[in-house]
């Protein structure tokens, strides 16, 4: 069986290598992706429209805001699905697992984590808030924030992390993130624009229409960050203990 499956693998591999020859050179200005009117429009208009220096953030949170909103919803649903499957499972998998390990947390590890976690969390806030200007944004900041809670759970045990971020709060925060995102979109609709047309927020904010888009993007990124933080930690908490939320790895 392994020998037979090797044939399609080789055929597809040769086809892919043959097709890879047609790819444009890296950085070629006449490549289809660079030559399209869309990318030149973004390059010339992003700074004028939104005053955001980082074009990637502007495209993600403003021009394609609808897309990013439902990406966040997908993350939320993934967390919900894991909870729905694992919650209250006595588990056919749990036989070959011993939960009796109640060793003291290691002194060096816990003290290092105690020093590191505040730095990581401040860095995640920086990544989130500075995402307009430098690389970063809601997803990355949220993941770094979630990782800091996972680090606590890894070095002590899950209960210690759950005291700081209980699971029911996790899902509250995750839903709050999506509501914040959708709420900013809805607010701009009520102010006379279209859904997620942030420029209309200039009617209630004391800034220009361009800066309104700039600030609304920050609000939207905060929403994404909240959802991703909570779901990443909830995923780890459920997967590492099969939904029992007791004991460490």
Partner 1 sequence: MGLELFNTMILLLLVVAAIVALRVKDLLTASVVFAVYSFLMCLLWAEMGAVDVAFTEATVGAGISTVVMVATILNLKRKSSD
Of 146 and 185, CB closest to partner 1: 146
DSSP tag of 199: G
E strand residue ranges, 99-173: none
Q: Give the shortest CB-146-to-partner 1 separation in angstroms.
A: 7
Of 123 and 203, CB closest to partner 1: 123
CA nearest neighbour of 91 among 240, 194, 242: 242
CA dihedral 157, 158, 159, 165 (to 10 degrees): 130
Q: Give the shortest CB-241-to-partner 1 separation in angstroms.
A: 8
Q: How far is CA 60 from the centre of its chain?
A: 12
Distances (CA, A) of 116 to 143, 151, 229: 16, 9, 17
CB 214, CB 202: distance < 8 Å: no
Q: Give the shortest CB-115-to-partner 1 separation in angstroms.
A: 19
Of 24 and 135, CB closest to partner 1: 135
What is the binding site for partner 1 (CB under 8 A)?
A: 26, 54, 56-57, 93-94, 96-97, 127, 135-137, 139-140, 143-144, 146-147, 150, 154, 232, 235-236, 239-240, 242, 249
Of 90 and 206, CB closest to partner 1: 90
Q: Give the shortest CB-249-to-partner 1 separation in angstroms.
A: 5
Looking up tokens 């105690």 gives 114
């Amino acid at each position: 069986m392994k020998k037979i499956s090797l044939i399609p693998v080789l055929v597809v591999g040769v086809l892919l290598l043959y097709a890879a020859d047609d790819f444009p050179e890296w950085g070629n200005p006449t490549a289809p992706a660079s030559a399209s009117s869309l990318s030149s429009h973004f390059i010339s208009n992003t700074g004028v429209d939104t005053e955001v220096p980082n074009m990637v953030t502007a495209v993600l949170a403003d021009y394609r805001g609808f897309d990013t909103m439902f990406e966040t919803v997908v993350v939320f649903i993934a967390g919900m699905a894991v909870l729905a499957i694992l919650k209250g499972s006595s588990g056919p998998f749990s036989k070959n697992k011993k939960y009796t390990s109640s060793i003291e947390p290691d002194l060096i590890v816990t003290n290092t984590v105690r020093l590191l976690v505040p730095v990581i969390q401040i860095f995640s806030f920086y990544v989130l808030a500075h995402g307009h200007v430098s690389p970063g944004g809601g997803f990355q900041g949220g993941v770094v924030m979630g990782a800091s809670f996972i680090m606590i759970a890894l070095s002590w045990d899950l209960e210690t992390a759950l005291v700081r971020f209980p699971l029911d709060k996790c899902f509250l925060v995750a839903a709050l993130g999506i509501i914040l995102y959708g709420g900013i979109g809805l607010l701009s609709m009520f102010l006379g624009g279209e859904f997620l047309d942030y420029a209309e927020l200039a009617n209630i904010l004391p800034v220009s229409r361009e800066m309104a888009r700039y600030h609304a993007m920050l609000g939207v990124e905060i929403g994404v960050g909240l959802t991703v933080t909570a779901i990443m930690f909830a995923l780890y908490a459920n997967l590492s203990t099969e939904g029992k939320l007791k004991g460490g790895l």
